[in-house]
Amino acid sequence: MKSTKPHVALLASPGMGHLIPVLELGKRLVVQHEFHVTIFVVATDTTTVESHLRNLPNPKLLNVVSLPPVDISGLVDPDASIVTKIIVMMRQTLPALRSAIISTTRQLRPTALVVDLFGSEAMAIADEFEMLKYVFIASNAWFLSATAYFPTINKRLEEEHINEKKPLMIPGCKPVRFEDTLEAFLDPKDQVYVEYLRLGVEIPTADGILINTWEDLEPTTLAAMRDTTSLGRVTKVPVYPIGPLVRPVMQVRPAPVQEDSVVGWLEKQPSESVMYVSFGSGGTLSFNQMIELAWGLELSQQRFVWVVRPPMDDDASGAFFKVDSNGSDGTPNYLPDGFLTRTSDKGLVVPMWAPQAEILSHPSIGGFLTHCGWNSTMESVMNGVPMIAWPLYAEQKMNATMLTEELGVAIRSKEFSTTPIVEREEIERMVRKIMVDKEGDGIKSRVKELKYSAHKALSIVGSSYNSLSKVAKDCETSLQGQLSKARG
Ligand code: UDP
């Protein structure tokens, strides 16, 4: 491979929520900067990369390498959190990543390694091969501020947060309320707590942090991270807001659309009339909550597309690593008796997995009941779709708070904090508020403004385009250094 353009290696940790934005980042480096990109994917039984590799730009420049699956069964408690499992998997993958980088080195040594948050230990490999190293946060700057600040929180503050349930104060940033906090912060004896401390220590050793956000979405948090006068600044590493990284919205739908597909069904519905309901790649509800949600949708009398998966009473991330993006044809038998028949003229139930990017970009969609995973959130904003926030795990409660209280583009039930179950009447009320009531108009217009702001950030004169160009420039300068060193 003879080229004067840098080669950048990207490492994605398992889970579609990590893989999808890393693929988009790789595509941007190819399309905007004509870089060579190799994306290393940590394979799991359910990480079906193939469906996301269609329509890749310039396959000569973008290469995807699946690293061999690793067995972590003897290394981690089966009941450990999903984050712990992902981190242990990433650790076990390091030797394979190192060998893979050595083999790409025979063509053109990567100039930079970009790892997502849970792969930060791989930055040691970048050091070994004298590569630039970047951490990519597939979430927002507020989440980064909490994670990067965590190791510097002293015992007293920790006790105040965990025991007295006081907010976590982060210099210059919004405090994190106890109700919104990350599970990882709550139990110092849990492995995930120790791993998070390590992440917080490792992030600042990067040459830069890329974040899936944009300047105008989080101006205060980003300013706090760059405030050189603040002694307690959460990180001194340059931050690059490069988002939103979402799969591109198709302007023209390919014809013909399959009649029996979800998009085929959406084609027959009026504009902005359908509520899309989905809990991401891993989210699950309890049995009783599923029943209430089904009734709530039915009582609302609104059209809906609902991605359903078997209920789990004790694990809100119960489908993680269990759902694959090839979907499933099974008929869901855990829904209320007669629900499918009674709602057949208004609703479509899709088992396990749906083509979310296509759904959210369809003009028939008028609302999104979402678990507030950051990719889902960004996809909704990019399409100007107002949300009902239904956070389940990870940083989703922080995201829900940002969407409802700060950006005003979503509503959220008060019942989340007071009762274990959100009841059908409350769900009916929220769906109608977004889809029917005049009250929802403010939310709709704010999300449309945010859509405009996101598209502007990505445009050739926009802040995110500019941020990624700065990273690209650093890679180019580093490559020139490598080349002149090689020439002696
Ligand atoms: N997704 C999808 N179909 C589904 C569920 C999820 O295409 O049925 C995609 C969704 O569009 C998003 C990603 O999977 O890009 C999920 O990422 P997110 O950050 O929203 O949530 P996570 O799954 O990581 O909790």
pLDDT tens-place string over residues 47-75: 456 656 666 667 778 999 999 989 999 99
User: According to the model, what pLDDT value does residue 485 have?
Assistant: 86
Mean pLDDT, residues 235-258 taken together? 80
Is 227 in a helix, a strand, or coil? coil
Residue 410 β-bridge partners: 387
What was the ipTM of the complex prediction?
0.99
Which residue has 């239904």 as its token pair?
390
Q: Check 18, 161, 362, 371 and give the catalytic one.
A: 18
Q: Is the CB of 374 under 6 A from ligand 1?
A: yes
CA angle 169, 171, 177 (to 5 degrees): 25
Q: Is the CB of 16 under 6 A from ligand 1?
A: yes
Q: Is the CB of 281 under 6 A from ligand 1?
A: yes
More confident residue, 104 or 472: 472
- Per the annotation, the verdict on 36 as an active-site residue is no
Which residue has 């927002």 as its token pair?
140
User: According to the model, what pLDDT value does residue 6 have?
Assistant: 95
Answer whether residue 328 shows pLDDT above 60.
Answer: no
Q: Check 116, 180, 207, 474 and give the catalytic one.
A: 116
Pocket mutation for ligand 1, best pick of 376, 377, 385 (most atoms within 8 Å of C-beta): 376
Q: Is the CB of 316 under 6 A from ligand 1?
A: no
Q: Give how far Cα 179 sits from Cα of 143, 164, 166, 401, 416, Å.
A: 15, 12, 10, 10, 10
Q: Which ligand 1 atom lies nearest to the CA of residue 307?
A: 8
- Per the annotation, the verdict on 18 as an active-site residue is yes
- The b-or-e profile of 327-345 (16+ CB within 10 A means b, else e) is beeeebeebeeebbeebee
CA 118 to ligand 1 center in whole angstroms? 18
325: pLDDT confidence band, cut at 50, 70 and 90?
A: low
Q: Which ligand 1 atom lies nearest to the CA of residue 350?
A: 8
Q: Is the CB of 15 under 6 A from ligand 1?
A: yes
Residues 6+ apart with CB under 8 A from 19: 12, 41, 47, 49, 52
pLDDT, tens digit, 9 for 90 and up, residues 219-228: 999 999 999 8
316: pLDDT confidence band, cut at 50, 70 and 90?
A: confident
CA 170 to ligand 1 center in whole angstroms? 29
CA 130 to ligand 1 center in whole angstroms? 34
CA 373 to ligand 1 center in whole angstroms? 7
Answer whether residue 305 shows pLDDT above 80.
Answer: yes
Q: Is the CB of 332 under 6 A from ligand 1?
A: no
Answer whether residue 291 shows pLDDT above 70.
Answer: yes
Mean pLDDT, residues 27-35 taken together? 96
CA 244 to ligand 1 center in whole angstroms? 14
Q: Which ligand 1 atom lies nearest to the CA of residue 20?
A: 15
465: pLDDT confidence band, cut at 50, 70 and 90?
A: very high
More confident residue, 41 or 488: 41
